[in-house]
Structure 1
Amino acid sequence: MRQLLQGFRHLLRGQRWAVRHGRWWGFGLLPGLVSLVLYVAALVALAVWSGDLADWITPFADHWSSGARTALRDLTALLLVGGGLMLAVVTFTAVTLMIGEPFYESLSERVEDIEGGGPAPLGLSWWRQLLWGLRDALASVLIVAGIGVLLFGCSFVPVVGQTVVPVVGACVSGFFLTEQLTAVAFQRRGLTFRQRVRRLRGRLPLALGFGVPLVLLFLIPLVAVFAMPGAVAGATLLVRDLDPANPAPAGPPAAAPPPAPSAPVAGPGPSAPGPTPTA
């Protein structure tokens, strides 16, 4: 329970950090606003063309009676719009993180600078960092999608599907949302996707305490836009808690201590008188 509350406190700390640093909060809003405009345009286009899509999907109903054909295609159009809206809610955060990779990298670095400094940069080119981020984001999305399909199948089980499955789904989504948000700060420390998952799994209550409230909050895309900068800041603070030690800057090699003086070696003394030669 203590780690759950600690994770939630990191979330609140991140939001407070974003409010206190308004310029960086506004900077972090830009990717979310771009994603919101793209999603709204896509959903409006889907709503406008949903009737034509429904006609194209259901050619077998061309010879049905007018009432049955209209009812089927209206239902199909409604399902298309509803499915598109659900897909938008599920993918909004991942797409925003991919679009905002450079923005959130700068925001995370600024958080580390203000909070006491972070590790030295890895020295990777921007395109290597972009490919790294896209690969890890794709891996995370595929894992969540696979687990989501499994949970969807379990949702048809009586009682379990209406009680256990939603809780497990929220926990899985919260864990991987935490992984996606902490990826920027963890990558700065040289951790791969598997290493990040292992690190967060070792502090599972902490990760869930941070991510599950965000999942519930991000169900509203407009709220997600305004909360995203604080979420990135909070995730950076969480990484600093998990990995507080920053590597010391490399300096000139220390001079070797002088060797200890050796004991003086006694020189040859006077020779002892030899025997007196006899005649």
Structure 2
Amino acid sequence: MRDLGAGFGYLIKGQRWVGRHGRWFGFGLLPGLISLVLYAAALVGLGYGADDLVDWATPFADDWSSPWLGLLRTTLTVLVFGLGLFLAVITFTAVTLLIGQPFYESLSEQVDRTEGGEVPESGLPLWRELWISARDSVRILVRVGLYSVLLFALGFVPVLGQTVVPVLGFCVTGYFLTEELTAVALQRRGMALKNRLALLRGRRLLTLGFGVPLGLAFLIPFVAVFLMPGAVAGATLLARDLVGPENEDDDEDPAPAAYTLDKD
């Protein structure tokens, strides 16, 4: 359980870091503001269109008597919007990181620089970094999509769907948020997606302690934008410790090898 607190501690440390480096905080806000406008427009559209979508998808219920017709479609409308919100929380980080790749790379490098020690660089051109980032984001989103479908289906199970499923949803959200954020620092260290996932699986509670509170905070409008710079900084601090010298000795598939695969 100590890892849960440690993970949350990295989130706080990241926010403190950008608080002490105000210029980098402002620098890191720009990609989030762009993403916020895009996602706000998408969610407003979903809010207006969710009921029409549900009506179109349930023609078999047109002849149902009251209150069953209203109950079914209202429940499905809420679930559709909830699924959209869940996907927005999950994908917001990936899209923002993709938009802000140069911004967050610079921020992450600055965190490494101020914390001392080696400052890894990918050595790849920007277009290659963007390609790897986009490719890995798609792979993550496929995984998230599968979990989303499963959790959406389980949401119809009485009691379970209203208690356990939301908790599992936030755990999934937190895990993949941590992966997406630590990817900025770990890619610079030459670590491919499969190695990053294996690294985080080895410290699940640490990963959830960082990502779950962040996922909950991201549900509050505008909060995600202001937390993103600190989240990237905190994820860099987390990555530094995960791949520290004491962990590198035990790594069966070291980062340089994974990096070579990505460069091919």
Q: TM-score surpassing 0.5?
A: yes
Q: Which residue of 1 aligns with 2:251?
A: none
Aligned residue in 1 for 2:235 = 235
> Aligned residue for 1:150?
150
Shift of 1:194: 0.5
For the residues of structure 2 that align with 1:34 and 1:15, how far apart are their CA atoms?
A: 21
Identity of counterpart residues, as a percentage?
A: 59
Q: 1:141 to 1:239 in 2, by over 3 A?
A: same
Q: Specify the alignment match of 1:93 in structure 2.
A: 93
Where do 5+ consecutive residues of structure 2 fail to align? 64-69, 249-264
Task: Please tell me whether the aligned partners of residues 36 and 222 of structure 1 are also in contact (alpha carbons under 8 angstroms).
Answer: yes
Write the deviation string for residues 51-98 of structure 1: whole angstroms up to 9, x where unpaired: 9x77x959x8xxx9xxxxxx9xx98xx878787666544432222122
Conserved? CA contact 1:19–1:25, under 8 Å: yes
**2:12 is the alignment partner of 1:37:** no
For 2:193 and 2:130, locate their aligned partners in 1 and report how far apart those are by CA, in whole Å.
14
Structure 1 pair 197–8 and aligned structure 2 pair: CA distance change class (3 A): same
Once residues 31 and 214 of structure 2 are traced to their aligned partners in structure 1, the CA distance between those partners, rounded to angstroms, is 17
Cα distance 1:119–1:245, how it changes in 2: closer, same or farther (>3 A)?
A: farther
Give the RMSD, CA atoms, in angstroms. Answer: 3.3
Deviates more, 1:3-12 or 1:84-93: 84-93
Cα distance, 1:46 vs structure 2: 6.2
CA distance in 1, matches of 2:212, 2:81: 27
Cα drift, residue 122 of structure 1: 2.9
Q: Which residue of 2 aligns with 1:13?
A: 13
Amino acid at match of 2:175: F
Maintained 8 Å contact 2:25/2:230:
yes
TM-aligned CA deviation for residue 130 of structure 1:
0.6
Task: Give the whole-Å Cα distance in 2 for the aligned partners of 1:233 and 1:97.
Answer: 13
What letter corresponds to residue 194 of structure 2 in structure 1?
R
The one-letter amino acid paired with 2:4 is L
Contact 1:29 1:229 (C-alpha < 8 Å) held by counterparts: yes
Distance in 2, Cα, partners of 1:172 & 1:41: 25
Q: Distance in 2 between matches of 1:126 and 1:120?
A: 15
- Give the superposition deviation at 1:123: 1.4
Aligned CA distance change for structure 1 residues 26 and 145 (closer, same or farther; 3 Å)? same
Match for residue 24 of structure 2? Answer: 24
**d(CA) in 2 for partners of 1:212, 1:181:** 13
Confirm or deny: 8 A CA contact 1:36 1:225 kept in the other structure. Answer: yes
Equivalences, count:
238
Which protein is richer in helix relative to its size? 2
- Partners of 1:82 and 1:151 lie apart in 2 by 11
Greater alpha carbon shift after TM alignment, 88-97 vs 237-246: 88-97
* Cα deviation digits, residues 160-210 of structure 1 (max 9, x gap): 222221111111111111000000111011111110000010011110100
What amino acid maps onto 2:220 in structure 1? Answer: I
Task: State the match for 2:261 in structure 1.
Answer: none
The match for 2:116 is 116
Which amino acid in structure 1 is aligned with residue 20 of structure 2? R
Distance 2:120 2:235 in 1: 19
**Would the alpha carbon gap of residues 124 and 39 (structure 1) be closer, same or farther in structure 2, given more than 3 Å must change?**
same
Distance 1:217 1:125, change over 3 A: same
Q: For 1:9 and 1:153, how far apart are their aligned partners in 2? A: 34
Give the residue type in structure 1 aligned to 2:154.
C
Contact 2:89-2:173 within 8 A present in 1 as well:
no
Question: TM-score normalised to the size of structure 2?
Answer: 0.78
TM-score (ref. length: structure 1): 0.74
SS of the residue aligned with 2:156? coil
Q: Which residue of structure 2 aligns with residue 252 of structure 1?
A: none
Larger Rg: 1
Q: What is the one-letter code of the residue matched to 1:242?
A: L
Change (3 A) 1:242 1:44: closer
